[in-house]
Amino acid sequence: MNNEMVKRQIRELCQAPGPERKEEFFRQLKAQGLLGRRTRTLSQVEFVAGQIPYIEKWTWVLSVLLLVFLTEVCRLRPGNYPFAMTPFLAAGVLVQTGRSFRWKMAEMECAARFSLRSVMLARLFIVGIFNTLGLMIVILLVRPCFSYSLLRVFLYMMVPYLTAAWLGSVYERKQRADHGWGGVLICLLSSAAFAAAPLFLAWLYEERWTVLWAAAMILMVGGLSGSIRNWISRMEEPAWS
């Protein structure tokens, strides 16, 4: 059976309905000045801002609640244990990476006006910046509660967060359709590991090892950037016109 025969049989079995009210539709477009008009080009800022309504509300709620809870814990019980809570902030970022694949919408979104990779990068940027700025505010608020310098508090909070984000991004890139539970589990395990660190590796929080934390942060930032770049490079980017 050749292709022409298959196409003919498909046309016979799947006959499309007639274009009813076609002329009326085009008259309305012409009256509104939309006929033959090209879609307005969006700036980068407009495009990124336009993705904010498409991020689930629970992502914002989770981030805000975690930041408020972290602030209160640091004020009431200052120590090394509150730092282990920051990995949970990465859950909202990780969920965005595999959302299209979990809901089987990646193929359709690839054919949309904006490429899937552009949409994902914009959403990752929005949630990542929101969490990072939130952590910065928390660090400034709770700094007086600790005997550590501002730099050390910054490193102790950012390294667990970036570690969970990096490990989770690697997992999400390989397992895109597990409904996000793998990323949540990685955040939980990362939190447990950093919560246990003060018990078994208390020397890590000594001032002389600050350079080790700084090196770990640089490593995590590089690993996360490379993981996202690898994930994006494997994603198709058809153009819409």
Say whether pLDDT at 105 is over 70. no
* Closest residue by Cα to residue 133 from 144, 125, 122: 125
Say whether pLDDT at 234 is over 80. no
- Give the pLDDT confidence of 166-204 residue by residue, as tens digits: 888 888 777 655 555 777 788 888 888 888 888 888 888
Phi, psi of 236 (to 5 degrees): -70, 150
pLDDT of residue 40: 67
SS3 labels along the chain? CCHHHHHHHHHHHCCCCCCCCHHHHHHHHHHCCCCCCCCCCCCHHHHHHHCHHHCCHHHHHHHHHHHHHHHHHHHHCCCCHHHHHHHHHHHHHHHHHCHHHHCCCHHHHHCCCCCHHHHHHHHHHHHHHHHHHHHHHHHHHHHHHCCCCHHHHHHHHHHHHHHHHHHHHHHHHHCCCCCCHHHHHHHHHHHHHHHHHHHHCHHHHCHHHHHHHHHHHHHHHHHHHHHHHHHHHCCCCCCCC
Say whether pLDDT at 161 is over 80. yes
CB 195 within 8 A of CB 204: no
pLDDT of residue 26: 77
pLDDT of residue 200: 85
Report how far residue 143's alpha carbon sits from residue 116's, in angstroms, rounded to the nearest whole number: 40
Say whether pLDDT at 111 is over 60. no
- Give the pLDDT confidence of 138-154 residue by residue, as tens digits: 999 988 888 888 898 89
Report how far residue 207's alpha carbon sits from residue 153's, in angstroms, rounded to the nearest whole number: 11
> 159 or 56: whose pLDDT is higher?
159
Say whether pLDDT at 16 is over 50. yes
**Overall average pLDDT of the 24-45 stretch:** 74
Say whether pLDDT at 126 is over 70. yes
Question: pTM of the full predicted structure?
Answer: 0.71
Say whether pLDDT at 236 is over 70. no
